Amino acid sequence: MSIADDAERYRAPALDKGLDILELLAATDDGLSQAEIAKALDRSPNEIYRMLDRLVRRDYVRRTLEDRYEVTLKLFELGHARPPMRRLISQATPVLRQFALKAEQAVHLVVQDRNILVVIAQVDGPGYWNVSIRVGSRISLVNTGSGHVFLAFSTPEERKLMLEEQDLGSPEQMPKGLVGRLDGVREQGYENMPSAQVSGVSNLSVPIFGPLGSVIAVLTCPYTQRLDKLDAPNTQQAIRLLLEAGQEISKRSSNQS
């Protein structure tokens, strides 16, 4: 029996339908109506209604006052209930808080999940304003500091797979100059790059190593220069504090694995 025949033999149409709805809604910022979901998935409204009803009752989807549907945080919570993820967040959070206090900057922790980068923890700086990113956000691989660190410390085989997931195909198809930049990141042990999303912000990113020496997460500070405090840590001081924080989380992760 071929792989295709085997896949067809074990199809679960109802499960596929529910997963299609969740994936569609997860990629939509403002939610969708029942009719829009049915049209997007090429399903009948009755099919969609029954499945939506079950997803709402199980709290994977909520129905808004505008009669639209959007995903809840239940799947996110289930993902965080996994022991390795929960342990990493528990180990890292005190270190993130110490860094934010000393550097007077926000900081977040990013993991790679099936070649998608996800923010799993975030701590604001002590001031009344911050440049921060929401927990649960998915971020780019090729134009963020976190992505550069994952790519820089990956093996050639891992990098190829990561790029294929980003529709870049191969290392040869990466943006011009990125290969050399990644070599520099690996050599110096951190990334310091202007944000591609927010003007005036520098992405400072360092790797978190697991017990086997691979990068299991990345610590990133969206650094902004403080104009209201002349004695606030500068970029190089923030990098030093971030490297120390990354080393501490790496040590905790290795010691308790």
- Position 201 scores a pLDDT of 93
Is 175 part of a structural domain of the chain?
yes
What is the pLDDT averaged over residues 165-176? 59
Q: Indicate whether 24 belongs to any domain.
A: yes
**E strand or H helix at 208:** strand 202-209
Both 173 and 63 in a single domain? no
Looking at 47, 72, 97, the residue that finishes a domain is: 72
DSSP 12: -
Question: Is the pLDDT reported for residue 155 higher than 80?
Answer: yes
Look at residue 10 in the predicted model and tell me its pLDDT: 61
Output 187 or 225, whichever has higher pLDDT: 187
- Categorize the per-residue pLDDT at 131 as very low, low, confident or very high, splitting at 50, 70 and 90: confident
* Domain of 60, in residue numbers: 3-72
Token pair listed for 186 = 């690996």
Q: Quote the Cα angle for 208-211-215, to 5°.
A: 30
Judged against a pLDDT cut of 50, whether residue 249 lies above it is answered with: yes
CA distance 187 to 179: 13
Asked if 134 and 51 sit in the same domain, the reply is: no
Question: With pLDDT > 70 as the criterion, what percentage of the chain qualifies?
Answer: 86
Please tell me which residue, 149 or 45, carries the higher pLDDT value.
149
Contact partners, residue 163, CB within 8 Å, separation at least 6? 141, 169, 170, 171, 173, 174
pTM confidence score: 0.68
Residue 73 in this model has a pLDDT that exceeds 90: no
